[in-house]
Amino acid sequence: MATSAASRRWRTAGRYALLVAVAVVVLFPIWVMLVGAFKPGNKVLQDPLLPTSVTLDTLRDAWRDGKLGRALVNSTIVALIVTVAQVVTSVLSAYAFAFLRFPGRTLLFALFLATLLVPFEATVVVNRETVQDLGWLNSFQGLAVPFLATAFGTFLVRQVFLTLPKDLREAARMDGLGHLGFLREVAVPLARPTLGALALFGFLASWNQYLWPTVISTDDDWNTVQSGLRTLSQAQIDRPNLVIAGTVIVALPIFVVLLVFQRQLVRGLTAGAVKG
């Protein structure tokens, strides 16, 4: 069937053409950003699409003026703390909701779900007061503690636990496994892909926090990358591309994380995380 093979070839070529076209559109802003970041400030207005002159000066200045080195360290530490804690707290509470029976379970779970709907904006002012009263302004505690638990994670992990066959728990009980043992040896390993996805989402959400770090730090040593960028975005008349260089520095580590974990993320989500 020569015609069918030919038409299939054409179709594949067409798909490639489409893929390339879409990739160009998606990458276009990134390309412009890269070109801008590597240009000296005075050449930014000319040929914005072509790297006509290349320098590392702008990146270096952005690194220095935005104190991005310190900000990267802060963001990384906070994001790691938040990620680990969210996984742990989510697993524990999800286990309670999925496998334990106790009075008020439904009500409590509804309460958990309700917190998903509370916009962060509704709590910021009071949370700042709380953190101030605890003496946690300008500290890792202040940046991380409010995010150590999430109803989203609880919900996600509970969904996975619910898909585990009931007799698994019974069999484990026969084997003399307590709740902790069952959690550690059966439930968590089975939920691993989902936990990976949850961890990655938690990391990204923490890394991308914008409002909170600007609200609770009064010392730019406690800037995270996002609040550092905000500082960089203040009037820079003589170097319009300084902030663009800053965005490159900030986006790069996440891009690497994504490259490394992309497959896990997709697998984690495939494994039922997003099934209702």
Question: Which 80-119 positions form the footprint of another protein (CB under 8 A)?
Answer: 88-90, 92-93, 95-96, 100-103, 105, 108, 111-112, 114-115, 117-119
CB of 2 to another protein, least distance (A): 21
- Is the Cβ of residue 171 or residue 181 nearer to another protein in the bound state? 181
CB of 184 to another protein, least distance (A): 13
Q: Which of residues 122-161 bind another protein (CB under 8 A)?
A: 122-128, 130, 132, 137, 145-149, 151, 154
Rounded CA-CA distance 120/143 in Å is 14
204: contact with another protein by CB under 8 A: yes
CB of 153 to another protein, least distance (A): 9
Please give the radius of gyration of the chain, using alpha carbons only, rounded to the nearest integer: 24
Q: Which of residues 250-269 bind another protein (CB under 8 A)?
A: 250-252, 254-255, 257-259, 262, 265-269
- What are the backbone angles phi and psi of residue 51, rounded to the nearest 5°? -75, 70
Residue with tokens 């520095």: 249
- Is the Cβ of residue 56 or residue 122 nearer to another protein in the bound state? 122
120: contact with another protein by CB under 8 A: yes
Count of positions on this chain that bind another protein (CB under 8 A): 113
Q: Which of residues 219-248 bind another protein (CB under 8 A)?
A: 219-220, 225-227, 229-231, 233-241, 243-244, 246-247
- What are the backbone angles phi and psi of residue 139, rounded to the nearest 5°? -155, 160
CB of 171 to another protein, least distance (A): 18
Return the range that interacts with another protein (CB under 8 A); candidates 43-51, 52-60, 167-175, 184-192. 43-51
Q: Which positions from 169 to 188 touch another protein by CB under 8 A, shown as an x/- string? A: ----------x---------
